[in-house]
Every structure is written in C-alpha cells, then in structure tokens.
Structure 1
Amino acid sequence: MTGYIHSVETMGLVDGPGVRTVVFLQGCPLRCQYCHNPDTWTPQLGTARTVDDLVKQLVRMKPYFKSSGGGVTFSGGEPLLQADFVTACMKALKHHGIHTCLDTSGSVVGDFTDLLSQTDLILYDCKHPDPEGYHQLTAGKLSVTEGFLQQAQDAGIPLWIRHVVVPGITDGDAHMAQLQTYINRLFHVEKVELLPYHMLGHSKYQNLNIPEPLADTPAMDKARCSQLQTTYFR
C-alpha cells in the first residue's frame, strides 16, 4: 500500500508525549485562514511511500521512543484522507510496541473504526466551537468533524485538544467561554493547549503564489495566550 507524505520529522517534542517521529501526510480538505502549511493541501505534491518502507524508517527510532515514553504521530495535512494507509502503518508499529498518535481535525466523512482501534492518543485540532464560525474560519463543516469526534468518544481514546488563538478572531473572552463549554461536554480529555498564531508560513504563500488570508494579522501575543490558558484551561 502506498501513501503520500509531505515530510517526516524526527526527534519531535511537541506533538504528543515523549520524543516522537512525526509523519506529515499530504492533502487537506480544509482551507483554514491561519494555515501555515499550504504546501500540504494538494495530495499529488507528496512523496509516494509504501507502508513497509515508511515503517522501517520509523522503527529505527524505537530506542528514543522507549527511553522517553514517545512514539509516532501521524499529522498533516489531514491524515484521515489517507486513513487506510495510516491504519496499516499503525498496525505495523503496534506490532513493534510503538505508541501511536493521530493529529487530526476530524474533517473527513467516514467509518474510522479500524484506524481508531490502532490509535493510542488523538491530538484533536479544535478549530472553532460554533458551526458558522467554523465555516468562516476553515471553509468546512463542524458537523463533519463532530462525526469523527463521536467515533473517537465511543472508542474511549484519550484526547489532547489543541486550539489556535488568532488575534481578533479566536482570542476574545466570549469565544474562550464558548470553547470551554464545548470542551467540557467531551470525555477522555487529558489536556487542552492554546497555541498562539504565528507567521512562519508567510513565505510559503509567497512561494506558492496564492493569497494569504491573514497576511495583515500580527502574531498572537504569547503572554495573552498564556493568560487565556490559565484562565480557561488550567
């Protein structure tokens, strides 16, 4: 089986517990205004890799995973677009005793029972708690991601929830209160992380010659983001 990979990052420290290798899969159905990886949108731009080839690379890092409580995180793009490939990779990794993590926005319709059966942890990218706000921010539908989220809830998989805080869009107290209410109804939540919007993807839009929706939006003040974290998600 073949999948399309954007890149593979070794020794990652922010995409799940411990030292991790992060596999960034190519392709994404959303067009988030704050996206800093527009180069992952189109599936055809990825590098074709077989399950066996990729897993061989990932298993080499097992000593680092074992000593740190780490593992492999499948991110994107949106990994659910290549669910069969990710499932096959995870099954092979589990055979080697490696912890698996799925970093997803849940923005794909489907039955993900097999994939979730191989997933130890989900990093759930919570874009927006309101259907209208979600669509304005991502051009997608909140109902789709909630369909995936319900499957994850039924499977009882631990969640680390992450939310990007964008100046003038998702940084207000009313928004945070709404987000808090949305998250409080969920089960198996181990952590909530507010991530400050940054401008590291600015050059990518220029290189791809595509418009950048938030080109004039400044980076989120980290102190303010930390304050919101403490106030709403201690």
Structure 2
Amino acid sequence: MSTPQALESGSRHDLRTGASPDAPDEDKFKDEEGAFGYCHSYETSSRYDGPGLRVVLFVSGCLLRCTYCHNPDTWHLKDGTYVSAEQVLRRLGDFAPSLRDLGGGLTISGGEAMVQLAFVKRIFAGAKAMGLHTAIETSGFLGDRADDAFLNTIDLVLLDIKSSDPDTYRRVTGRDIAPTLRFAQRLASIGKPVWVRFTLVPGATDDPENVAGIARFVAPMKNVEWVEVQPFHQMGSFKWKAMGLDYKHHDTPPPSRELVNRVIGQFRDAGCNAR
C-alpha cells in the first residue's frame, strides 16, 4: 500500500513519474471510500479551466491513450502522488476566500477524473461546502460510472469530444466514441452546464466532416454554453521522449490561424457558441 505524501503544486507541464510504484493499474482500480487518491499536481490562478479564477487539481489515471496527449504522465496511477482527500481540501481551503471573491472555484482534470470517482466526489463535496464553483474535465468515457449524486457535486462539465467519426476516435484514443456521446446526451437531458472541448490536430481531427459531425451533435443541446477549439501544441512532446513512448506527432505542426478560424466558423455556422 502506498504511503500518503504531500500534495505537490506545480504545472500540468511538469513531468512526474514513478511516485507510487505499488499503485494498482488504472483499469483495475476500485475504491468506494475515496479517502485517498493519486494526483499529479495542482495549479493555482487558472483562468482557462472554467469561469473565474480557479485551482486546478490534476488526478492520475486514464483509460484513453490519445496520440497527441500532452500529459502521458497522468495515464498511470503509479506515476501519481498518493495523497489524502483531507489534505487536498485543507490546501483548497487556503485559496477558497480568494476564489469566491473572484467568481472562481475548483476544476478537477487529469488523466481522467472518473477513474478515481469516490476520491473526486469527496473533494467536490468539500469544495461545495466551501461555497466554491466546481468543474470537471473529462472525456466522458467513464460517464456511466457517474451517478446522480456525483453529478450533483459538479456545476460545470468540460467535456472533451475528440471526434465525431468512430474510426477517427478509435485511431486517436484507442477507445470507442459511444460512451462519450451517451454521457453528453445524459448531461443534456438533465440540463447540466457543459463546455465542449475539441482538440484540433492537423492531419488527425481536422477533417471538415469530422468537425461538422461534432457540430451537428452539439448544436441542439441547450446546456452546451461553449464549444472551445483547442489548437494542438508540442508542449508535451518531451514527456513522450522521457517516458520512452512512441510519439506519432513529432512532425505535426500547430494548426494555422486560418484552420482554427475555419473550425470555429463551422461550429458557429451550425448554431454553437464557439471560441
């Protein structure tokens, strides 16, 4: 069993590996209590991951293997630091007054937050008790695990929809698209606020019909407040090299401004609020 350690501040761009070598595999992880969990790091002062000023907690564990992932060191629980939810909430409490004053809150990202559902739920419940806005960034692949009680602790879902085409989705993530679309439809049915995030990768996700398919799916959903187009970047490529992973995008350029504008325009033309 891992020994609890101190939660580390830092950046999503920091490379962190091997902190908990005896951790279980992420696809076999089960925990009903959520008193402890595995985290990569946390950031303060984010204005990107939800409304207002935010603390962003990056938890470990993910079942997708996105070919362009900029944080492959969050895939495995063994690379995360084993920490207590109590410690996380104590640290969050230090920032809570400023976060409330600035209209912000807590965002939990990953990895995939729903790998550690009970741990994340406990932290969100604590954040709500502090009067903080809560947001989760998720692929939705594990959305079937999220019961109503879990969703009630979340004010906003940042939902990554990586493709509309099943073949493209499997090629870039290694998984099926159906669970994500099912989760999106469930969120729409209960009116849960959502920001859809789409990573624009030249040569992988930029096909006009792929974008159009996401736009057609999202546009009728009144709960989707924004579609955010996220341009591919190379800031995580050094992690792939350091971890001995086969990185398929060494030669992939960031999308041009013209391409970004075309994709944003496709979403807007379909009736989405896009940026």
Tell me which interval the TM-score lies in, with the shorter structure as reference length.
over 0.9
Residue 83 of structure 1 contacts residue 112 of structure 1 at CA under 8 Å; is this kept in 2?
no
CA distance in 2, matches of 1:148, 1:112: 11
Shift >6 Å, 4+ stretches = none
What SS does the corresponding residue of 2:145 show, helix, strand or coil? Answer: coil
C-alpha displacement at 1:72, in angstroms?
Answer: 0.2
In structure 2, distance between residues paired with 1:230 and 1:2 = 44
Matched, 1:215 2:255: no
The answer to whether residue 62 in structure 2 is matched with residue 28 in structure 1 is yes
Gaps of 5+ in 1: none
**Deviations along 1:183-215, whole A, 9 cap, x unmatched?**
124330101111110011111011101110212
Greater fraction helix: 1
Structure 2 counterpart of 1:86: 120
Give a deviation string over 1:119-164, Cα, whole Å, max 9, x none. Answer: 0000011111122221111101111223332332333210001100
Aligned match of 1:125: 160
How many angstroms apart in 1 are the aligned matches of 2:99 and 2:265? 30
Q: Is the 8 A contact 2:212 2:266 kept in 1?
A: no
Amino acid in structure 2 at the alignment position of 1:20: R
Aligned residues: 234
CA distance in 1, matches of 2:265, 2:237: 29
Task: State the alpha-carbon separation in 2 of the partners of residues 25 and 220 from structure 1.
Answer: 28
For 1:122 and 1:136, locate their aligned partners in 2 and report how far apart those are by CA, in whole Å.
25
Shift of 1:231: 4.2
Q: Following the alignment from structure 1 to structure 2, what is the Cα–Cα distance between the partners of residues 95 and 232?
A: 37
Shift of 1:223: 4.2
Does 1:194 find its partner at 2:222?
A: no
Across the aligned residues of Structure 1 and Structure 2, the Cα RMSD in angstroms comes to: 1.5
Q: Amino acid of the residue matched to residue 27 of structure 1?
A: G
Aligned 1:109-120 pairs, distance under 5 A: 109-120=144-155
- With over 3 angstroms needed to count, the CA separation of the structure-2 counterparts of 1:175 and 1:215, relative to structure 1, is same
Matched residue SS, 2:260? helix
TM-score for both structures, normalised by structure 2 = 0.81
Does the aligned pair in 2 maintain the 1:36–1:202 contact within 8 Å? yes
SS of the aligned residue for 1:29 comes to coil
CA distance in 2, matches of 1:217, 1:198: 9
Letter in 1 for 2:49: D
Letter in 1 for 2:121: T
Q: 2:174 aligns with which of 135, 139, 146?
A: 139
Give the conservation status (yes or no) of the 8 Å contact 2:193–2:223: yes
Residue matched to 2:140: 106
Overall identity of the aligned pairs, in %:
35
Choose from 31, 37, 45 the match for 2:79: 45
Match of 1:171 in 2: 206
1:8 corresponds in structure 2 to 42
CA distance in 2, matches of 1:183, 1:231: 12
Unaligned runs of at least 5 residues, structure 2: 1-34, 269-273
Instruction: Name the stretch that deviates more: 170-179 or 115-124.
Output: 170-179
Letter in 1 for 2:141: S
